[in-house]
Amino acid sequence: MDKKPIAKIAVALIVAYTLSYIWIRLGTKSIVHSTGTSGCNYATHFVVPGDSSVVSYTINANFALLFTPLRLLELGYWNLVKPIGSSISEEDRKLNKFKTCTNTAIVTIPSWYVKLKVLSPPSK
């Protein structure tokens, strides 16, 4: 049995999977990258579903699940390019309008996470 057609099909599927991720990630913003900062340093990176509405979040969460291997690969990329503890880039400072880095604690995380934290009753 010739293995070349199987290899070609496998390569074609991997390429299609990767191109689909790139289109969903950059074209539709269904999967987004965000960062958490503490002071003037990166504290964390997220590659998570976009959250424009409840219905679209459900769809985006399914996309995120489907593309988990590539999301984890991208997360590794961000941790190499902008490692945790490194200074915030000039581009991110302009984007997030940091006036100064002293005593600044801005965390950019998905709004659904913030809403969950805000709606949680205080524990006693």
Write the single-letter amino acid at 84.
Answer: I
Please report the pLDDT score of residue 10 as a whole number. 94
Predicted confidence at residue 123, as pLDDT, reads 54
Does the global pTM surpass 0.85? no
**What is the pLDDT at residue 53?**
78
Please give the single-letter amino acid code of residue 41.
Answer: N
Mean pLDDT per 10-residue segment, the chain (124 residues)? 86 96 89 82 87 82 93 92 85 69 48 46 52
* pLDDT tens, position by position, 94-118: 776 666 665 444 445 555 444 444 4
pLDDT at 34: 84
In sign, the C-alpha dihedral spanning 105, 111, 117, 121 is positive
Predicted local distance difference test score (pLDDT) of residue 71: 94
Q: Determine the pLDDT at residue 54.
A: 78
Long-range contacts, stretch 28-34, CB < 8 angstroms, 24+ apart: 30/56, 30/59, 30/60, 30/63, 30/64, 31/60, 31/63, 31/64, 31/67, 31/71, 32/110, 33/74, 33/78, 34/108, 34/109, 34/110
